[in-house]
Amino acid sequence: MYSKKLPKICIVLLTLLISLTVVTNVVGAQSPKYVFYFIGDGMGASQRQAAEYYLQAVERDENTRLMMNQLPVVGINTTHSADSLITDSAAAGTALACGYKTNNGIIAMLPDGTPVKTLLEAAEEKGMATGLISTTRVTHATVAVFASHNINRNAENEIAYDYLDSGVDFLVGGGYRHFVPQDWEWGKSKRKDDINVAQRFYEEGYNIFLTEDDTAKFRSFEPKGKEKVFAALTYSHMPYELDRIDSEVPSIAELTAKGIAVLEKYDDGFFMMIEGGRIDHACHANDPAGSIYDTLIFDEAVATAYDFYQAHPDETLIIVAADHETGGFGLGFGTNYFLKMEPLMAVKASTADILQSKYNGNRSQFFDFIAANYGLVDLSVGEKSAIEKAMDMVDTGIEDKAKRYGGYDPVAIEVTHIISERANMNWTTYAHSGTVVPLSAVGVKAEQLGGFKDDTEVAKAIANVVGLNLN
């Protein structure tokens, strides 16, 4: 006679199967304990690919890949702001940090001035340690949107003061000028008051590192427990990577490693945003080598985080995003079908910080300088003529209205455009462009970051994956 009762062995197996399913679902529902949110400011697809092609040329290996280009989950993001199809970093940063569109120039607020919660603030509510790292001033837009709220991105003195209430545990980058009082005896200040924000950080228990003179102390600092760090190592932005190489200033990869060393001491994990801010600045100045070098060192920071991920694969999430593209950077020029990396290999200094201030009226001295530092030892008649016309503009103070230089020194721009054209690269603007930007990710639930998304959806996806409340 057929029995409706299951044999004992089947009951046991069914019980085990249900138990395994429950365990699997619980594990699958876990959120990452460690979150790295990389934002390459101005880093579009061309910036990433130019850096990879350059690395392949230097290493003579066409199989060489950027770390960020090896991450398994990929996406494409739109970047427009609430009031423009071309965003600035404040509005794009707000979208990436808060999940809301706002107008250009606004920091973590809606267009009507209503503050919106950031991923970093939500991470703190969850009990996670938090970190902000940048190669710009830490009061600059992309950093500020994570821990400050202001209707005006240029109110950097106010933003500096806001950080005192932010609760961020590791705040490192440039721009000490906004944290020290106006008559600070050890250096210059941009403040118009006597408030010593850095001193207040110290009084709240932070380890403080200010100016280039504290670089060695910062490098040697080793946390003994749950420590807090505030470091503003330069007066304004950190140097471009091309210029930093010969300085004592730590790279963004070093800053990332130090951030890990400090924040991994906390029991409940961490949320860390790392901005490669000077990729954007190089592209504003149409500087191909500057963009490439800053992208490469940014990728080393990603590789540093990836090493941590390999040690904690079931607890870590890495996202590499961008706020927008800068410069309308084109890999191709005219009717030619080639790119040449060799013209960029001779470049030893940035356009915006070094070349911008080099022409002083002494033409032969300038030509000697660009020969030695930019590889321009064999200028054609046309190339030399273009530079000399720019020199005429500077000497007379009369700029050719038919040519636009984006507010930069015409002589420097003519030089960087010659280098770009020799590499067969081109620029459409000195500002941002409206093109979509790439994203890549790896780690716990990284697949939720992939696909075609608006930048606001990236923030919401991160909140969902990490278990953060942005409302």
Q: Among candidates 341, 396, 339, 391, which has minimal Cα distance to 370?
A: 391
Distance CA(82)–CA(101), nearest Å, equals 5
378 is in an annotated binding site: no
284 is in an annotated binding site: yes
Residue pair 122/468 in contact (Cβ under 8 Å)? The answer is yes
41 is in an annotated binding site: yes
Catalytic residue among 3, 46, 84, 89: 89
Helix 381-396 to helix 410-422 angle (10° resolution) is 160
Strands 228-232 and 170-174: parallel
Contacts 24+ apart (CB under 8 A), 357-365: 357/409, 358/411, 358/412, 359/391, 359/394, 359/409, 359/411, 359/412, 361/394, 361/395, 363/388, 363/391
432 is in an annotated binding site: yes
417 is in an annotated binding site: no
Distance CA(441)–CA(72), nearest Å, equals 7
In sequence order, the β-bridge partners of residue 171 are 132, 230
> And the tokens for 225?
């427990």
> And the tokens for 462?
């991160």
How many Å separate Cα 371 from the centre of its chain?
A: 31
Tokens 């670089």 -> residue: 215
Distance CA(170)–CA(272), nearest Å, equals 9
178 is in an annotated binding site: no
Distance CA(131)–CA(224), nearest Å, equals 17
Q: Where are the alpha helices (DSSP H) in 80-223?
A: 89-98, 119-125, 141-144, 156-162, 197-203, 215-220
Residue pair 461/448 in contact (Cβ under 8 Å)? The answer is yes
Query: Has 247 been annotated as catalytic?
Result: no
Residue pair 58/420 in contact (Cβ under 8 Å)? The answer is no
Q: Among candidates 404, 393, 193, 145, which has minimal Cα distance to 286?
A: 404
Residue pair 406/413 in contact (Cβ under 8 Å)? The answer is yes
Distance CA(304)–CA(315), nearest Å, equals 16
Tokens 């702001």 -> residue: 81
Q: Which residues contact 453 (CB under 8 A, 6 or more apart)?
A: 75, 76, 77, 78, 439, 461
> And the tokens for 182?
């106006």
435 is in an annotated binding site: no
Distance CA(290)–CA(94), nearest Å, equals 26
324 is in an annotated binding site: yes
267 is in an annotated binding site: no
| Residue ranges at the known binding site for Zn(2+) | 41, 280, 284, 323-324, 432
Positions marked active-site: 89
| Residue ranges at the known binding site | 41, 140, 142, 275, 280, 284, 323-324, 432
| Residue ranges at the known binding site for Mg(2+) | 41, 140, 142, 275
